[in-house]
């Protein structure tokens, strides 16, 4: 959390001069905290709140501030040896691939039936930083394959 604050402070003069944009990477855990990652969830909730506050403060000066909140994405945190998929596989008696391909999508209720890919998150960040998103600020774009159901 403090790294986002420090980086924003350091870059703010240039962002104000050039009507720049910030995209913070939060998580669906900001909305769906899990007991096993309470510190992570609290951090991401604070980052999402920071995004909203900064968007309100700096929009009048031409700086857009948004966030993306990914759901489960196939990153080394899930896929590397000894990481989340291995831990879940050991606990449930299935293979790592079964956890990644079936267990996570089913247990987390991912409507699209699969975990996300990192390039899908990067594409959303690139869009929010682009001129095509010049009228978007203060939003938290949830990219989770339908894990969080809209109300």
pLDDT of residue 36: 81
Question: Residue 33 — pLDDT band, cuts 50, 70, 90?
Answer: confident
Sign of the Cα torsion 38, 40, 42, 45 reads negative
Sign of the Cα torsion 9, 134, 45, 108 reads negative
34 and 19, same domain (yes or no): yes
Residue 20 located in a structural domain: yes
Domains of the chain: total: 2
Residue 151 located in a structural domain: no
11 CB-near residues (< 8 Å, 6+ apart): 20, 22
Q: How many Å apart are CA 89 and CA 130, to the nearest integer?
A: 40
Residue 132, domain extent? 1-71+118-146
The residues annotated as belonging to the active site are: 40
66 and 123, same domain (yes or no): yes
pLDDT of residue 94: 96
Q: How many Å apart are CA 26 and CA 40, to the nearest integer?
A: 10
62 and 9, same domain (yes or no): yes
67 and 88, same domain (yes or no): no
47 and 94, same domain (yes or no): no
Instruction: Write down the pTM of the prediction.
Output: 0.92
């Amino acid at each position: 959390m403090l790294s986002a604050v420090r980086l924003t402070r350091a870059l703010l003069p240039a962002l104000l001069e050039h009507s720049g944009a910030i995209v913070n990477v939060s998580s669906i855990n900001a909305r769906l905290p899990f007991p096993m990652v309470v510190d992570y969830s609290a951090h991401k909730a604070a980052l999402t709140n920071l995004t909203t506050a900064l968007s309100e403060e700096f929009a009048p000066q031409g700086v857009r501030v948004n966030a993306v909140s990914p759901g489960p994405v196939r990153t080394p945190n899930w896929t590397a040896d000894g990481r989340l998929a291995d831990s879940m596989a050991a606990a449930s008696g299935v293979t790592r691939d079964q956890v990644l391909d079936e267990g996570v999508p089913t247990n987390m209720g991912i409507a699209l039936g699969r975990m996300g890919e990192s390039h899908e998150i990067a594409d959303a960040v690139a869009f929010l930083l682009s001129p095509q998103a010049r009228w978007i600020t203060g939003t938290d774009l949830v990219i989770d394959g339908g894990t969080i159901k809209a109300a």
